[in-house]
Amino acid sequence: MNVQILSKKLTTPSSPTPSHFRNHKVSWLSMFQSPLMYLPNIFYYPSSTGGEKKVEIQKRFVFNGAAISKMKAVASTNILGSRQPTRVEVVTALMWKALTMVARAKHGRLRPSFLVHSFNLRGKIAMPVPDNSLGNFTNPALARFTADDDENKVELDHFVDRVHDGIRKRVKDSARISSDDYLFSSVVSTKTEMIEEFHRSDADFYMFNSWCRMPVNEVDFGWGKPGWFSAVVVPGHNMLSFHGHYIKMAMEFEEWVSLEEDDDMLLFPRKS
């Protein structure tokens, strides 16, 4: 796909930015984040002329509500108890399983892998956080595929369980954070574990970023609320970012995938 810039112009919002939104203090936690955690985004607005204009930035993949419901049903079949996997858990697990199979095809054997999944700390810690706090107030959930121990556990429900357990552990750990020192210690511990796994040569490292349940579709910069919201680019390889949108009252997931070229060809083979 070739992208061309047809025109450039500055558009003035219909109303000025309120004074209390013009300056924000960035927390130490946000400054502590890797630059890779900062993703540029694009907001799409309906044309004022009534015409339909589609803007394509990158190739993307969209899971509609019906497809997600089918995946949830498949994943729920072998999950013990009454727990139902969430949409985020199922889509994350599906992609992690697919990437694990790509790694097996590429290397001729199953390889261990480490999953890092963004986790919003707002409302999850035992400390008050202002509703208008700004920045990446996150501490990722972590999960592992050990290959040797898990060689017979490569079905979708197995990966759903791993994702769920990683997120549940982050929820429980976060609920105990009641001071700045505890928060700092928790974040440093997570980053240290991530760095150690990232430098392993015998394991794959996958980063997932989810904007689901983040009220980005409610943001009004003066042009009204956007009809769609997307990442402009997902930096680095083995990184996946997805967003949830309500289309005609049904949830759809848009996913952006950044992979090395040979992995991309194995995951999304070209038709001859």
Q: One-letter amino acid identity for 86?
A: T
Is residue 42 scored above 70 in pLDDT? no
Q: Is-above-0.75 flag for pTM?
A: no
Band (pLDDT 50/70/90 cuts) for residue 237 is: low
Q: What is the pLDDT of residues 138-173, one digit of tens each?
A: 899 999 998 776 677 888 889 999 999 999 999 999
Architecture of the 58-267 domain: 2-Layer Sandwich (3.30)
The pLDDT score that the predictor gives to residue 178 is 93
For 39-78, give one letter per residue: b (16+ CB within 10 A) or e.
Answer: beeeeeeeeeeeeeeeeeeeebeebebeebeebbebbeee
Cα separation, 80 vs 261, in Å, equals 38
- Higher pLDDT: 10 or 174? It is 174
Is residue 58 scored above 80 in pLDDT? no
Q: What is the pLDDT of residues 181-202, one digit of tens each?
A: 999 999 999 989 988 888 877 8
Band (pLDDT 50/70/90 cuts) for residue 12 is: low
- Higher pLDDT: 167 or 63? It is 167
The pLDDT score that the predictor gives to residue 115 is 93
